[in-house]
Structure 1
């Protein structure tokens, strides 16, 4: 198989939420296979060091301010991106947040923060960037979901609702835009250590509990997502649209012990 299927040279990838976390890993993976980058964050200066790292790879990098909860900010960012680079080939809708609380403690403002950021923001960023993609007849949109797109977890009601919505949104947008050459897919990581959940990984008992449920026998490492994001951004996935790709070490299969452990002999 030719490496040309995965070569993104000459293409421009926008990755939202790249001041930290998985957004930087997504952007780095795309840059390593040739893509130039548009990076976004609510505060542009938080992108400086990462933009310098990507520039050192020989990539053109444009840093833009974006608040996905503000429609005017989305429109302004989209216009600035088009003016700076012309055609945007790839969008990774990564910007997101979480509020981890028991359902009885979730406030109105908690719910709005998570849903407005993760779901409403993803839709309107996709809409703004897809206008150019549809007009030109080509694009790859990758919405970042989660294993909570398909599984429910206590303490994550707003987050799970937003990520489940991302899965449904992905299918709807794929039906809308795929006839115009724009594929839309959802990349759904499992349990990865990020800044949002770092404190949980500091509890050895919880990590042991988690690993027991992952057939791959370990939590995800950020670079475990590299191949998936490159695949969905590239020509290799040209006939894949409306899908949710779980990269979760197998936790979504619902691992259950179906055999009794043999007793040790005296």
Structure 2
């Protein structure tokens, strides 16, 4: 409703009448007194928010259709009753994703290589009233991934609705300087682990009403960046895996998507962002002119997990402030 609409006495009066009628119904009254100017009695100015919201929607107390609309909308935008496994969830993007999913009603499970960090995070989430549990795991290990899936599904009541493959790493070197160990570490963490965890999760996701996988990829898998060819190749592989699994597992009722952030304020890039000159080069390349926060990425991940996103699959969503579409719009303010 436009502000100008409320400046007209007749419209203001109709709104006040609607609010009063809604409140009267809740309070057991039938004839609320409304002034000619459309002002509410003092008792109704202290009306509960829900009654005011009902009036604004045009609902009336006992309006079954209005209740159905609200329940339908709530269901589309809620993860109540859902379970989720998020890898690498104690810091950065993973932590933000855990908190976002849990805040929307999901029961979450996460992992970390650092036992102390995991314990501290679990205690903090418990204080916030978020339902999160977890265990120590190095996802580059095949055996530990198998154990992780067993522990997670057990803690989540034997089911899994959402898998967020978030954990990743990078080794910043010139291509000619990479060692076999570098290649093994990056590919095992960034590609083999999410590939294997998706395989392990499939039996659970395919029996879930609305099973969902989200890969945390990178714009480095979409365009050439100076962050290293090895990590870029691993993320490009994730992007293609997203498309393949989306098509292959659609008949099984499993949606598969990926998010591709650019520079985000996490521990993985904190050293890079300490270079003020380089950081300015990054920001000047972004139309929205700022570095992303973990919450920016988590919000999109959560959306892709919601029932509201039920018709979205096979997509790689760039969360980069517009960087990948910026052909030549230099900005240096």
Is the structural similarity TM-score above 0.5? yes
> Paired residue for 1:28?
99
> Paired residue for 1:239?
311
Residues 189-241 of structure 1 deviation map (CA, whole Å, 9 limit, x = unaligned): 11112111111211111111111110001111122123201111110110111
- Greater RCO structure (CA 8 Å; 6+ sep): 1
Q: Which runs of 4+ in 1 moved over 4 A?
A: none
Residues 40-79 of structure 1 deviation map (CA, whole Å, 9 limit, x = unaligned): 1234443111112222232332212322222211111112
Q: Which has the larger radius of gyration?
A: 2
TM-score by length of 1: 0.92
> Paired residue for 2:272?
200
> Paired residue for 2:82?
11
Deviates more, 1:69-78 or 1:242-251: 69-78
> Paired residue for 1:186?
258
Matched, 1:65 2:65: no
> Paired residue for 1:47?
118
Contact 2:146 2:200 in 1 (8 A): yes
> Paired residue for 2:291?
219
Determine the C-alpha separation between the residues in 1 that align with 2:222 and 2:166: 18
Residues 137-161 of structure 1 deviation map (CA, whole Å, 9 limit, x = unaligned): 5311101101112011234111000
Superposition CA RMSD, Å: 1.8
> Paired residue for 1:112?
184
Deviates more, 1:148-157 or 1:7-16: 148-157
Unaligned runs of 5+ in 1: 259-266
Contact 1:75 1:128 in 2 (8 A): yes
Q: CA deviation at 1:29?
A: 1.0
Residues 79-138 of structure 1 deviation map (CA, whole Å, 9 limit, x = unaligned): 222222211111110011100111121111111110111001110011111221113453
Deviates more, 1:92-101 or 1:13-22: 13-22
Unaligned runs of 5+ in 2: 1-69
2:219 pairs, out of 129, 133, 147, with: 147
1:37 pairs, out of 87, 105, 108, with: 108
Q: CA deviation at 1:257?
A: 4.0
> Paired residue for 1:56?
127
TM-score by length of 2: 0.74
Matched, 1:228 2:281: no
Determine the C-alpha separation between the residues in 1 that align with 2:310 and 2:115: 33
Contact 1:134 1:182 in 2 (8 A): yes
Which secondary structure does the structure 1 equivalent of 2:207 belong to?
Answer: helix
